[in-house]
């Protein structure tokens, strides 16, 4: 897809270089000044502010603008260039070009929109990455949707993308999970095996225990908790994959934390950090004050293995291996990210909750301490999400507490059952990750224009309906004369051609929510046109009907593409 503003920026730079070569402008490094839409549509489609060059060029902005216009190479998509005070170049897209794009979109479909920003590059998006200790919660659902949308946008930008799920099955939570299932199993055998308060209380483990008892009878009575942990992990991962698949999410790779222990990669990382002078043994970190030292001494702490992360900007050093020889989360996390960089990804995006912010910074410190560049690693941090339900008695929204161990939580499956996969995906995406999200069930199920899911999908549905009726009437858009299209159809096309810029901004800034905002804006342009620009009305001439049918074919392709970028379905009927 040609990004017109980018093409225009390159042409303007070429014009400036030509003016410099001719001595009309002094030599200077040409800064990148973005071409962007003007404040008022009457000023054109794009505007370039030459004011930013006045100091460098030692000329007035108006004079610079005129020089650029005189030297600007021919561009087949421009109809008019206008120099306006105090130094703008206002550019208007040619109507013939817009009509050609309607034809091109109708013919090429989704291929029309492919960008080359990431051509020849590899990207990885690591997302969800929840421990397999229970089903996907509403919090994990936001992570899943944002991560998958980011992967789709990177693919649209030209990257070869891998979707990865990293899971921790070597930590204390999995030990508790195994012991919880073991006790639930013994309960199924009729034993008095009470569940401690810090164990997993959810009913889902009762079902797993019931199935184990039915399959194995009494034979697992003397089995270790590890056997039950492995059984729970297998069942939970099957559940997780099915739940994610229900909202159109699949991962390419599942990375097991225990593999870092089995390969001894964590110890290799520790030794490399030690060799680089960043590891020491102590009961306290080197920057501790007298009070901290006294406290650790009073508690009788044994020496642990510390990483000098403060050397790399961390607020304090971090324990890598506890005094009992057990690694903290930090060591395998650094080992995993070193392995990720070794796999040669040009971009490595991670989606995490804001509670992981400090840990993510420590990992980057570890990567730098190993002599590697952490630049490919970028993190999208998500604020908390909660399900809210209307409480009739209290007359207000009520948040649902979520805890896997207590068993009091809403799952992804619950949300899909109450609403729909498309509603879950859109409403989880259409909010900045930096904002807390209240998932309002009452709102997302509305079949009205108040619900953006319905609003966007209905644009596609309306196009599909036109083509069904056109087929019944044996009307096709072959040999359509697009000169018969009006200003409304061209206005929609102008807006649609901004898709490429939206994708680029979303990818460069890791803001996948931008595509959701854009889709809603474009639907807002489309629906009034649909109400006014009829195809099958008796008063519409056949040739005009054919031209409009071609327009709606392009519009349908555009909305189908946007829905796919968001991982949503494109229904033929609603």
Cα–Cα distance, 317 to 308 (Å, whole number): 5
Q: What percent of the chain has pLDDT over 90?
A: 86
Q: What percent of the chain has pLDDT over 70?
A: 98
Q: Which residue has the tokens 């009913």?
A: 203
Q: Is the peptide bond before 86 cis (omega within 30 degrees of 0)?
A: yes
With a cut of 70, say whether residue 285 has pLDDT above it.
yes
Cα–Cα distance, 426 to 104 (Å, whole number): 28
With a cut of 60, say whether residue 406 has pLDDT above it.
no
Cα–Cα distance, 240 to 494 (Å, whole number): 42
Q: Which residue has the tokens 């044996």?
A: 474
Read off φ and ψ for residue 174, nearest 5 degrees.
Answer: -75, -30
Task: Output 134 or 558, whichever has higher pLDDT.
Answer: 558
Strand, helix or coil at 256? strand
Query: 17-26, 35-44, 74-83, 212-221: which range is least confident on average?
Result: 35-44
Listed in order, strand segments (DSSP E) in 246-373 are: 253-256, 279-282, 304-307, 318-321, 347-353
With a cut of 80, say whether residue 136 has pLDDT above it.
yes
Cα–Cα distance, 530 to 460 (Å, whole number): 11
Dihedral sign for Cα 319, 324, 327, 328, please.
negative
> For 90-134, what is each residue's pLDDT tens digit?
999 999 999 999 999 999 999 999 999 999 999 999 999 998 888
What residues does 84 pair with on adjacent strands? 88
* Pairing verdict, β 78-84 and 304-307: unpaired
Task: Output 414 or 341, whichever has higher pLDDT.
Answer: 341
Q: What is the pLDDT of residue 445?
A: 72
Cα–Cα distance, 423 to 198 (Å, whole number): 35
Residue range 355-359: mean pLDDT, rounded? 95
With a cut of 90, say whether residue 396 has pLDDT above it.
no
> For 503-545, what is each residue's pLDDT tens digit?
999 999 999 999 999 999 999 999 999 999 999 998 999 999 9
Pair 424, 451: CB distance under 8 Å:
no
Q: How confident is the model at residue 303 (pLDDT cuts 50, 70, 90)?
A: very high
Residue range 402-408: mean pLDDT, rounded? 46
Look up the pTM and report it.
0.92
Residue range 458-480: mean pLDDT, rounded? 96
DSSP string over 162-190? EEEEEE--SSHHHHHHHHHHHHHHHHHTT
Pair 285, 296: CB distance under 8 Å:
no
Residue range 213-241: mean pLDDT, rounded? 95
Residue range 310-336: mean pLDDT, rounded? 96
Pair 574, 467: CB distance under 8 Å:
no
Average pLDDT, the chain: 93
Report in angstroms the alpha-carbon separations of 394 from 331, 389, 390, 437.
48, 11, 9, 22
Residue range 235-261: mean pLDDT, rounded? 95
With a cut of 80, say whether residue 275 has pLDDT above it.
yes
- Of the candidates 53, 42, 136, the one whose C-alpha atom is nearest the C-alpha of residue 92 is 42
> For 380-390, what is each residue's pLDDT tens digit?
999 988 877 66
Q: What is the pLDDT of residue 372?
A: 97
With a cut of 50, say whether residue 407 has pLDDT above it.
no
Q: How confident is the model at residue 402 (pLDDT cuts 50, 70, 90)?
A: very low
Q: How confident is the model at residue 40 (pLDDT cuts 50, 70, 90)?
A: confident
Counting beta carbons within 10 angstroms of the beta carbon of residue 125, is it exposed (0 to 12), middle (13 to 18) or buried (19 or more)? buried
Reduce the secondary structure of 294-323 to three states and give it as a string.
Answer: HHHHHCCCCCEEEECHHHHCCCCCEEEECC
Listed in order, strand segments (DSSP E) in 17-157 are: 46-49, 78-84, 88-93, 122-126
With a cut of 70, say whether residue 494 has pLDDT above it.
yes
What residues does 427 pair with on adjacent strands? none
CB crowding 408-434: b at 16 or more within 10 Å, else e: ebbbbbbbbebbbbbbbbbbbbbbebe
- Here the tokens at position 222 are 């003397």
Cα–Cα distance, 562 to 498 (Å, whole number): 12
Cα–Cα distance, 317 to 311 (Å, whole number): 8
| DSSP state at residue 36 | B
Cα–Cα distance, 127 to 251 (Å, whole number): 9
Query: 25-34, 288-297, 394-403: which range is least confident on average?
Result: 394-403
Q: What is the pLDDT of residue 401?
A: 54
Q: What is the pLDDT of residue 390?
A: 65
């Amino acid at each position: 897809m040609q990004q017109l503003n980018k093409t225009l920026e390159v042409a303007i730079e070429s014009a400036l270089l030509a003016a410099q070569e001719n001595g009309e402008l002094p030599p200077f490094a040409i800064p990148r000044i973005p071409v962007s839409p003007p404040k008022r549509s009457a000023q054109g489609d794009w505007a370039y502010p030459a004011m930013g060059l006045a100091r460098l060029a030692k000329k007035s902005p108006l004079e610079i603008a005129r020089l650029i216009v005189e030297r600007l190479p021919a561009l087949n998509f421009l109809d008019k260039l206008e120099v306006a005070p105090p130094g703008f170049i206002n550019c208007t897209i040619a109507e013939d070009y817009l009509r050609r794009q309607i034809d091109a979109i109708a013919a090429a479909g989704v291929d029309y929109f492919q960008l080359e920003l990431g051509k020849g590059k590899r990207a990885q998006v690591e997302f969800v990455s929840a421990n397999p200790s229970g089903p996907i919660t509403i919090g994990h659902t936001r992570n899943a949707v944002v991560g998958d949308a980011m992967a789709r946008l990177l693919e649209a930008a030209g990257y070869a993308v891998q979707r990865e799920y990293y899971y921790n099955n070597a930590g204390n939570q999995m030990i508790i999970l195994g012991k919880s299932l073991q006790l639930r199993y013994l309960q199924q055998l009729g034993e008095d095996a009470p569940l401690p308060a810090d164990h997993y209380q959810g009913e889902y483990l009762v079902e797993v225990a019931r199935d184990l008892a039915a399959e194995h009878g009494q034979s697992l009575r003397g089995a270790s908790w590890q056997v039950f942990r492995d059984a729970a992990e297998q069942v939970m991962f099957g559940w997780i994959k099915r739940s994610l698949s229900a909202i159109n999410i699949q991962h390419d790779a599942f990375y097991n934390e225990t593999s870092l222990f089995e390969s001894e990669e964590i110890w290799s990382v520790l030794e490399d950090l030690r060799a680089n002078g960043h590891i020491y043994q102590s009961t306290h970190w080197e920057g501790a004050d007298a009070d901290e030292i006294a406290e650790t001494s009073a508690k009788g702490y044994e020496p642990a293995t510390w990483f000098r992360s403060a050397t790399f900007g961390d607020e304090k050093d971090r324990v890598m291996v506890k005094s009992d020889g057990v690694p903290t989360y930090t060591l395998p996390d650094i080992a995993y990210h070193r392995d990720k960089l070794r796999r040669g990804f040009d971009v490595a995006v991670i989606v995490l909750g804001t509670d992981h912010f400090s840990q993510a910074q420590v990992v980057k410190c570890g990567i730098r301490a190993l002599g590697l560049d952490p630049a490919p690693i970028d993190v999208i941090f998500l604020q908390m999400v909660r399900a809210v339900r209307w409480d009739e008695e209290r007359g207000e929204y009520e948040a649902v507490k979520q805890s896997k161990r207590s068993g009091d939580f809403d799952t992804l499956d619950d949300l899909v059952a109450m609403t729909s996969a498309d509603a879950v995906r859109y409403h989880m995406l259409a909010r900045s990750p930096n904002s807390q999200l209240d998932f309002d069930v009452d709102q997302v199920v509305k079949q009205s224009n108040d619900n953006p899911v319905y609003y966007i999908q209905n644009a596609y549905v309306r196009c599909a309906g036109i083509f069904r009726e056109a087929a019944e009437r044996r009307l096709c858009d072959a040999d359509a004369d697009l000169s018969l299209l009006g200003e409304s159809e061209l206005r929609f096309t102008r807006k649609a051609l901004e898709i490429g810029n939206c994708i680029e901004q979303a990818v460069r800034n890791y803001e996948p929510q931008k595509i959701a905002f854009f889709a809603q804006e474009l639907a807002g342009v489309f629906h009034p046109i649909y109400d006014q620009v009829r195809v099958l009305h008796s008063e519409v001439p056949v040739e005009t009907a054919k031209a409009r049918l071609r327009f709606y074919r392009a519009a349908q392709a555009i909305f189908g593409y946007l829905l796919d970028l968001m991982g949503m379905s494109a229904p033929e009927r609603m």
